[in-house]
Structure 1
Amino acid sequence: MAWSSSPASAPRNQGLVIPDDWPGYKLDLFTFPHHYSEDLECVFIPHGIITDRTERLAKNIMNDIGDNYITVLCVLKGGYKFCADLVEHIKNLSRNSDKFISMRVDFVKVKSYCNDQSMEEIQIIGGEELSKLTGKNVLIVEDIVGTGRTMRSLLSHIEKFKPKMLKVVSLLVKRTQEGHGYRPDYAGFEIPNIFVVGYALDYNEYFRDLNHICIISEKAKAKYKV
């Protein structure tokens, strides 16, 4: 494994950097749903590494905003597995820590992709409930940040309701030429500008049931295209 780790002085929002030339792991080293055997190029990030990195993010969040009541706002659908695992890690840490985070979990759905392309118009579904965030400490849990355009739109919408605190944790951050300079407060992994699936990240609603994060084949993109 040749991933680069951030130096101690680097900002936490950089995440664990996976280089552009990372080839991933051969599929036959792991188990996954057999019906996807012809649809994947490789296992890009194994589930066990995702779990360990998520636990570290939970510890960072505890250290920063412990002893607070927070509303965890999960961005559906791709963020649900990451959110569930992150919240569970925070709960476990809270039981054995001098700090404690009391959490309420809510959900918002954001649609920004068709096939593997980002859409111009971003749809926020469930936004009518966001008025409850006024005066609250809010932690947005996202699966992946690409150009940052979607998250900037969501943040701008939520800020209208004047939350007390607003932070973002994203499992993945892409290195893109179209990036708008946005970085979440906490990031799990920084990855190349590739389309990945699994661990609830989908391609037209397929591949959410993969435990690992994988690279989808071009053949599969054509197969499941809408």
Structure 2
Amino acid sequence: MAGWERKQTDVEKGIVIPDDWPGYPLDLFTFPEHYSEDLDCVYIPHGVIMDRIERLARNIMDDLGDHDIVVLCVLKGGYQFCADLVDCIKVLCCNSNKTLPMRVDFIRLKSYLNDQSTEDLHIEGAENLSALSGKNVLIVEAIVDTGKTMKALLDHVEAFKPKMIKVAGLLVKRVASKTGYLPDYVGFEISNRFVVGYALDYNEYFRDLNHICVISDSGKQKYKI
């Protein structure tokens, strides 16, 4: 796509979307009418998301094929990415000489208030992670910004002594306060803008958008708590 960069020498960053990327005008796409005044632009169209996820699935198959894995989906924002990633892996398993038996489990993290990440991290479902002991774990998260939340989750999961942990992140933000943490599989590296859609929310709204969009200031005020 015009204006986007795929760094062949630094592929772990995924597709790098520059800070000056304006996104696409809303009138080029379809989306729920009730959000017509609440969005600035379509940042990443749904079709591009799906193409990138297919590539991530191939990379995961290349690395982890013929191993049993537990896919740990981080809710709520990661449910759509996880479902589509698992579907892509299942298709590859049917058309490849490799196989990747998967179990899927879920954990919920909550650290945002409105559009700000807070230090108050809530982990729900943590009591069920004893089943990860000795297993190969693939954590699937929709977005990583500072990396603090993911590092806290990794510390928590490591306490259950899994055999291996890998992380797939659809979006990684470029933020000044970043810890330096980067997932093993990255879909897109994006600027520090608050994005919604594709199950990413703002106070539980916008999960029903297919595209990843930038929320407008009026949208933030409308759904602020």
Q: Tell me whether 1:89 sits opposite 2:88 in the alignment.
A: yes
Aligned mates of 2:95, 2:48 — CA distance in 1: 23
Shift of 1:186: 0.5
Show CA shifts across 1:96-127 (max 9, x none). Answer: 11110000100000001010000111111000
Matched residues in 2 for 1:24 and 1:63: separation? 32
CA distance in 2, matches of 1:192, 1:26: 18
How many aligned positions are there? 224
The whole-number CA distance in structure 1 between the counterparts of 2:84 and 2:36 is 26
The corresponding residue for 2:4 is 3
- Deviating above 4 A after TM superposition, structure 1's stretches of 4 or more consecutive aligned residues are none
| DSSP-derived class of the 1:63 partner | helix
Task: Percent identity, please.
Answer: 67
* Unmatched segments (≥5 aa) in structure 1: none
Give, in angstroms, the shift of residue 13 of structure 1.
2.2
Matched residue, 1:179: 178
Matching residue's letter, 1:158:
V
TM value normalised by structure 1: 0.98
TM-score (norm 2): 0.99
Partner of 1:48: 47
Q: Distance in 1 between matches of 2:139 and 2:157?
A: 10
Distance between the aligned counterparts of 1:73 and 1:13, measured in 2? 20
Distance 2:183 2:12 in 1: 6
CA distance in structure 2 between the partners assigned to 1:155 and 1:4 by the alignment: 29
SS at match of 1:101: coil
Match of 2:98 in 1: 99
